[in-house]
Structure 1
Amino acid sequence: MEAVKERLKAGDFKGALNRAKAIRDPLKRLIALNVVMAEFPREEVLSEMLETLNGVSGRYEKAVAYSIIGRAFYMLDRERGGSLYFEKAVSLARTIPTPMLRGEVLAGIARNLVLADRYGDAYILFVEAVDEIQRARGLSSRALETLRRVARLIEKSADEIPNEKALAFYRLARDIYESLFFKLQAKHLSDKIALIGDVLKRGRTVVTELIEKGDVERAIEVMRFLPLEDRAVEMLHLSYWLFLHGRPYLARKVFNEALDLILVGKFQPRDGEVFSIAMKMLKIGRLEEPLVLAGVIRNIELASRLLGEVSLAYARRGDSAKARSIAEGIRDESVKRTILNALEGGGDVGHEQGLPLTGGGEGDRAVPEDGRGGEV
C-alpha cells in the first residue's frame, strides 16, 4: 500500500495502478485500487476493481468489498450502480450470524456510505451496527473494544461531513463513549456539539472570535458549518492571520481552498471585504495573493486600486517589469495613468495608498465602505 501511495504522490497513475494490481490478497488489492480511484476516478480502475471482486470470498470480506465497489461507482457519478452494490453489501452483511461481526461489517459499509455522501443512509446503518455490537457486550471484552472503534469511526465520519448533518453523528459517537465510561472523549464531543450549535446560531462571529484568539484548529474545524460565501471570506481572514503569524504553508493551503470555493461555488463575496483582506496581506509583504484577489473583485474601481498597490509593491521590490505588466492591465484609466506615472518617476513609488487612485471624473466617484461603488 505504501508503494501505491508513493506513486500517487508523484502523480504516477500507471505506476500506482500497477503496484495495486500486484497485491496478492484480493481484499487488500481492492482497497489499494480504491485509493487509486480516489485520486484518479477512471473507468479503467473500476474495471480492475470489479475483476478483483471475483477473488474475494467469505461473507464478511465480500460485504465489505461490495461497499467499496459501491463507493467507486459514486466516484464516477454512477449512482445507480453504486446503490446496487451498497444494497448487496447490506443484504449480505445481515446474513452474518455473529452479532459483533455483523455490526463490524455494517459499520464498515456505513463508513463507505459517508464517503459516497449518502449521510442519511450511513447514519441509519451506523445505528444498526451499534445495536448489533451492543447485543454482544456481555460476551467478551473484544465486543467493547469493537464498540470503541466503531465510535471512533463515527466520529471520524462526522469530521468529514460538511454540514449540520454531522451533529447526529457526533451525538451518536458521544452516546457510545458515555456508555463505555470514556468521559474525556464524551466531554470533547459535547463541547464540539455546543460549538457547532453556536456557529449555526451566530454564524461568522464565532469563527472570527476563534481566529482572533489564535484557535486555528477549531476555527478550521467549524468553518464548514458556515454558508459558502461566509466560509470563503473567513478562510481568507484565516489565511491572512496564518501569514501574519509565520505559517505560510498552511496559509497558502487555506487561501487556495477559499479561492476554490469562490470560483467553483458560483457565488461572490462582498467586494469590500475581499479588498480589505487583500490590503492587509499587501501590508505584510504578500503580493501574489492580493494580485489573485484583484481578479475576484467585480467592482472596477476597487480592483484597479488594488492592482495599483500591487504594482507599486513590485516596483519597490525592484521588479519593474512585473510592476509595469500589472499596471498595463488596470481597467480604470485614471488609476492606470496614475500608477504608470509613478512607475516612470512622476510620483512617489514608495507612497502606499496615498496616491489619488480615484480622481474627480464622473467615473471616479468615491467608493462606499462596502466596496460596491454602484453598477460595474
Structure 2
Amino acid sequence: MMEDISDFMERGDFGSALDLALRIKEPFPRLEALSYIYLYVKEAKYMEAVLGRMLETVDSLKESLEKARALALIGYTLLASGDSKGDYFFKKDYQLVKSIDSTLWRADGYGYLAYYMALSGKYSDAFYYYNVSYESVVSSSEPYSKVLSFLYSLAQRIVESADKIRSPNAREFYELAAEIYENIRRNLIARELRKKASLIEAATQMGSKVVSDFLERRDLESAVFVIKYLSEEEKVLALLEVAYWLVLHDKKGLGNSLVEEAFRMVVERKLQPDDDSLRDIAFKFLKIGQIKDALTIAAIITNKEIASQVFARIALAYARKGDKLKAVTVAEAISNENVKKEILKAIEGDEDVGHQ
C-alpha cells in the first residue's frame, strides 16, 4: 500500500495518494500513510487537507493509549515539516498519557512519546521520557512476566530510536537500552549495545582518526559505523580514509566513488576539512598511483601553500607517467611561484623528475 502511495506522490497525483491512504482500515497505519503524504507535499492547501484527515482519525480513536500514540505521531509530523505547532501536540499527548490509569499502558504511552520526540530531534526530552517509562514499570507491582515482556519491547524501541540518531546523542540511548537488556538477562544483546556506545564515545573524542585506527585493524564494520557520529568536516576525512582502504583492497570503483562523494560534500555544504589531513590523505593516494583521486582531494584544500605541495607532487607523478601535458597543466595551478618554477623546470628536464 505504501509503495502505491509513494508512486502516486512521485507522479504528483496527490488526490489518488490521499484516497488510497484513507482506504486503510486500521487507524494507525492510516495515520502513518497520511503523515508520509503530509511530509511529501509542499503546498499549504494540501498540507491543511491532510492534517484535517489526521485529526479526524485521532478523534475516532477510543482507547487513550492509541490516541496518545497518534498525537505523538502528529507532533513529529508537524515538527519534521518545520511547523512548531508540533510541540502543542506533544504537550497534549503528555497530558493524556499522564491520565492513563494502567501502569503498563501509561509507561507505553511515555515510550511512544519518547520515540516520536527522538525522531523530531528532541533528544534530551526523548531520553527523559524513555527513563520515565522504564522506571515506572520497574518500580511497579505488575506481574513479573508482564514487566519482562514490556521491558523487552521498550528496549527494542529505544534501540530503534538510537539507530536513527545520526549524532553522538545516540550513545546514551544505546546505554539505556543495554541497561534494560541486562535487567532482563539479555546480556549478549546488552554487550553489543555497550560496544556501540563505546564506539560513539571514541568517535567524539578522536574524530576521523578513530576511523583510520579501525581500518588499520581491518575492522571496516566499526569504521563505517562511527562515521555518522562525526562532525561534517571529520566525515569528509573519514570517507577519504575509507576510500583509500577500499582501493588498497581491490575495490577501486567503490573507493573512487567515495572520493567523489567527499568532494561533493565539501562543495555543496561549504565545508572546510583540516588541510593538513587532506594533504596527508592525498599523498597516500599518490603512493599507490591514484593520481586522479589525489587531484580531486587537492581541489578542496583551501590553504594555498599546502595545496601547492600537493599539486607539485601530482604534477611530478604525471610527468613520471609520461603525461607531460597533464603535468604542466597541474603545475600551472600551483599558487606558490617558486614551487611552480621548480616543478615546471623538473618537468621540462625529464631526467630530474624522479628525484624531485
TM-score for both structures, normalised by structure 1: 0.72
Q: Deviations over 1:277-317 (max 9, x none)?
A: 23433555656644432331113354356457667888999
Name the structure 2 match of 1:183: 187
Pick from 60, 70, 74 the counterpart of residue 75 of structure 2.
70
Residues 17, 33 of structure 1: 8 Å contact kept: no
Q: Distance in 2 between matches of 1:156 and 1:292?
A: 37
Which of these residues, 16, 19, 26, is aligned with residue 17 of structure 2? 19
* Secondary structure at the counterpart of residue 12 of structure 2: helix
In structure 2, the residue matched to 1:60 is 65
Q: Answer yes or no: is the 8 Å Cα contact 1:133–1:143 preserved in 2.
A: yes
1:330 is the counterpart of 2:333: yes
Select between 18-27 and 164-173 the one with higher mean Cα deviation: 18-27
State the AA in 2 paired with 1:61. Answer: E
1:81 paired to 2:82: no
* Inter-partner Cα distance in structure 1 for 2:170 and 2:95: 26
Give the CA deviation at 1:253.
Answer: 6.8
1:215-236 superposed Cα distances (whole Å, 9 cap, x missing partner): 1221232345545544432332
The answer (yes or no) to whether the contact 1:73–1:81 under 8 Å persists in 2 is: yes
Structure showing the higher helix proportion among its residues? 2
- For 1:309 and 1:41, the matched residues in 2 are separated by 50
Residues 173-197 of structure 1 show CA distances to partners (whole Å, capped at 9, x for unaligned) of 1111011110101222233334444
Counterpart CA distance in 2 for 1:87 and 1:241 is 49
Task: Give 2:125's aligned residue.
Answer: 121
Residue by residue, what CA displacement relative to the aligned partner does 1:28-67 show, whole Å, maximum 9, x if unpaired?
A: 2331343456667665664344122122332333322322
Task: Compare 160-169 and 260-269 and name the one that shifted more.
Answer: 260-269
- Partners of 2:212 and 2:238 within 8 A in 1: yes
2: CA distance, partners of 1:317 / 1:37: 56
Give the structure 2 partner of residue 109 of structure 1: 113
- Closer, same or farther: CA 20–337 of 1 in aligned 2, 3 Å: farther
Equivalent positions of 1:351-370 (< 5 A) are 354=354
**5+ residue gaps in structure 1?**
357-376
What is the one-letter code of the residue matched to 1:32?
A
Contact 1:196–1:225, Cα closer than 8 Å, also in 2: yes
Q: Percent identity?
A: 30
Structure 2 contact 259–296 (Cα < 8 Å) conserved: no
Distance 1:314 1:17 in 2: 58
Return the alpha-carbon distance in structure 1 between the equivalents of residues 16 and 331 of structure 2.
Answer: 50
Cα distance in structure 1, aligned partners of 2:46 and 2:282: 42
Q: CA deviation at 1:118?
A: 0.5
Provide the residue aligned with 1:29 in structure 2.
Answer: 30
> Greater shift after overlay, 186-195 or 138-147?
138-147
Is the CA contact 1:162–1:225 (under 8 Å) kept in the aligned structure 2? yes
1:241 corresponds to which residue? 245
Kindly state the Cα deviation for residue 268 of structure 1 after the two structures are TM-superposed. Answer: 2.4
CA–CA separation in structure 2 for the residues paired with 1:311 and 1:33: 57
Give the TM-score normalised by structure 2.
0.76
After superposition, give the CA deviation of every residue in 1:317-346 in whole Å (9 maximum; x if it has no partner).
Answer: 99999x599659825377778989999xx5
Q: 1:188 to 1:47 in 2, by over 3 A?
A: same
In the TM superposition, residue 120 of structure 1 has moved relative to its aligned partner by 0.7
Aligned residues: 348
* Matches for 1:1-376 after TM superposition, within 5 Å: 1-4=1-4, 7=7, 12=10, 14=12, 18-19=16-17, 21-23=19-21, 24-25=23-24, 26-35=27-36, 43=44, 46-53=47-54, 54-56=56-58, 57-58=60-61, 59-78=64-83, 80-134=84-138, 138-139=142-143, 141=145, 143-247=147-251, 251=255, 255=259, 258-259=262-263, 262-263=266-267, 267-284=271-288, 286=290, 289-303=293-307, 306=310, 323=326, 327=330, 330=333, 332=335, 354=354
Residue 66 of structure 1 aligns to which amino acid in structure 2?
Answer: L
The range that moved more, 331-340 or 50-59, is: 331-340
The CA RMSD measured in Å over matched residues stands at: 4.3
Aligned mates of 2:274, 2:37 — CA distance in 1: 39
SS at match of 2:284: helix
The residue type paired with residue 66 of structure 2 is E
How far off its partner does 1:114 sit?
1.0
Q: Which runs of 5+ in 2 are unaligned?
A: none
Cα distance, 1:143 vs structure 2? 4.9
Deviation per CA, 1:253-291: give whole Å up to 9, x if none: 754664566456655223232123234335556566444
Partner of 2:273, secondary structure, is coil
Name whichever of 103-112 and 18-27 sits farther off: 18-27
- Distance change >3 Å, CA 191–CA 264, structure 1 → 2: same
